[in-house]
Amino acid sequence: MKKLVTRIALAASAVFALATSSFAQTTLGADCGCPSLSSRTTVLMSSLASSTGATDGELTATNTILDCSKLYILDKKIYVPSGKSLTINPGVVVKARAYSTADSATALTVERGGKIFANGTESCQVVFTAEADPMDGTYSLANKGKWGGICVAGRATNNLKLANNGPFAVGTAGKICVADGLGTFEGFNSTNYKDQFGADLTAGETFDDNDNSGILTYISIRYSGAILVLGGELNGLSLGSVGRGTTIDHIEIISCADDAMEFWGGTVNVKNFATLFGNDDMFDWDDAYSGKSQFIFGIKAADTTASADGDNGFEMDADDQKSNVTPRSHPVIYNATMIGNAKTTLSSDNSGLAAIEAKELTEGEIYNSIFANFRYGLNLIKSLGTRTGTSESYHNWANTGGNGSNSLKIKCNAFVGMTKDFALDKNAVTAFASSDTAQFYTTDLNTTQTSLPGFVPTWAANFTTNAVTTRFDAVPNPQITNAAGCPTAPYDGFYTPVSYKGAFPATGKNWLSNWAYTQLINVTNGLQPCTTDINADGITNNVDFLILLGQFNQSCQ
């Protein structure tokens, strides 16, 4: 009876008034013995670092440890140097200071050879948020871009070539290279070694696809994203050539001003990733990223037609410079659920507004996923434009050559409520052939629906009060199982083989932490937290009862 949700208008106002307290996290970490936020001693991150400039510093200890008895303020760009590590204990809260100019945005960067061990737990997450956020539910979800974000640099493979992707130029798409194999994070106005990832191949360095930059588990990143110029931004989590020895699991990114998670090359795997109400793209890759991912959940921010953001689900590139370099990006992804905002106005940043925006010769595989409310389902480039050579992303998808037929696989996915399920080239100016239609639906077993049973991909929220006035339901019920011929995620030590489409099963506990903002804001029916301490204040009392009473007749998992 998951769909039995009380929607009585008189009760609704009380429920949503109580919703603010339901995602207060002023006692985050209580299950780990952490004190309330108000009683934690404040420590500036710059006090733990050497001063290498007015706006940045490198941590000085061999292993800097953050414990939850303190509240940490990220007051500069802070770096974890090569050969050193940063350990962040469960329940730690790091608040990032607002910046005056985009190039001075505060950020935490793990340099090549450095490591971060942020080992949150399901009930004791590690939270990075804006300094002004009281964490009592009153900080508006519209407060995007209050600080930069987290950057992790590794030494795994990328396809950067100085002749094609350089020299480094701030804000020029793809011009991030300082030497063959060595790139600089977008959003940094710098050619400093601290901001670089990959390997300097011209200096004799080599790639290490098993490179280990540490562990990020049960991490919440809120109100981040700094836009230096269009095409030069800091994202919620930026991953440059990060190796598969790194663990990234149970990550949420809330109200980011740019991409939630972006990859430049690398082989790192990502599991259990959620993002709410961010601008631009949910999951973005470029420059030969080739990791694995499973269980991805995303909800786009409300449509702002004047925005230059692409508002895609996946944005997929092999190389922005159309240079035909190899290797090409080729990640393999299972079980995503992405809900768009039905935006239709094209922007200068990206013309797709697609669930899957397949650009610049990308390869890759996306299986068993659900996409809803995007302008396009799959958007491919077919016209070569200024590219040398004979193929584009379309040719990698179609049986017409490219880098091997079907090196781009989009298979066994459900597309719900799209303006068009698939499109070619900017503004869909190129028509699909009948063979393309046959491949999309018959060969690749993708489906199109105006609706799915139990699946409600529309929502409404007040981004000033944070009240969710219309919840959606991200879980089809009955569950959509894979058709014959659809692949199941393999038993390989990373993937979890499941028979359903989308990020969540229709029954049983979902993988979202009850303490995650994604759960606590209670935006969706069908993914309700099931704790007695509903407002997460460490006590079960009448306040929890009143919140529960206002939400009676709902189910949770």
| Structure confidence by residue, pLDDT tens digits, 86-124 | 999 999 999 999 998 888 899 999 999 999 999 999 999
**pLDDT tier at 137 (50, 70, 90 boundaries)?**
confident
* Contact criterion met (CB below 8 Å) for 103 and 81: no
- Predicted pLDDT of residue 553: 46
- Predicted pLDDT of residue 13: 29
Q: Tokens at residue 446, please?
A: 């993708």
189: Cβ contacts below 8 Å, ≥ 6 apart:
103, 170, 228
- Predicted pLDDT of residue 543: 61
Check pLDDT > 60 for residue 14.
no
pLDDT in tens, 40-93: 999 999 999 997 667 899 999 999 999 999 999 999 999 999 999 999 999 999
Measured between alpha carbons, how far apart are the two ends of the chain, in Å? Answer: 12
Distance of alpha carbon 384 from alpha carbon 287, whole angstroms: 19
Check pLDDT > 90 for residue 319.
no
Check pLDDT > 50 for residue 389.
yes
Q: Whole-model pTM?
A: 0.90
Q: Tokens at residue 543, please?
A: 């306040």
pLDDT in tens, 404-459: 567 999 999 999 999 889 899 888 888 888 999 999 999 999 999 999 999 988 88
Half-sphere exposure of 75 (CA within 13 A, CB side): 14
Q: Tokens at residue 256, please?
A: 């980011």
Distance of alpha carbon 214 from alpha carbon 111, whole angstroms: 11
**pLDDT tier at 510 (50, 70, 90 boundaries)?**
confident
**pLDDT tier at 327 (50, 70, 90 boundaries)?**
very high
* Contact criterion met (CB below 8 Å) for 59 and 79: yes
- Work out the burial of residue 155: count CB atoms within 10 Å of its CB; fewer than 13 is exposed, 13-18 middle, 19 or more buried: buried
Where in the chain are the domains?
A: 24-279
Distance of alpha carbon 251 from alpha carbon 296, whole angstroms: 10
Q: How high does pLDDT run on average in the chain?
A: 86
* Contact criterion met (CB below 8 Å) for 371 and 405: no
- Predicted pLDDT of residue 37: 95
Instruction: Give φ, ψ of 20 to 5 degrees.
Output: -60, -45
**pLDDT tier at 529 (50, 70, 90 boundaries)?**
low
- Predicted pLDDT of residue 15: 31
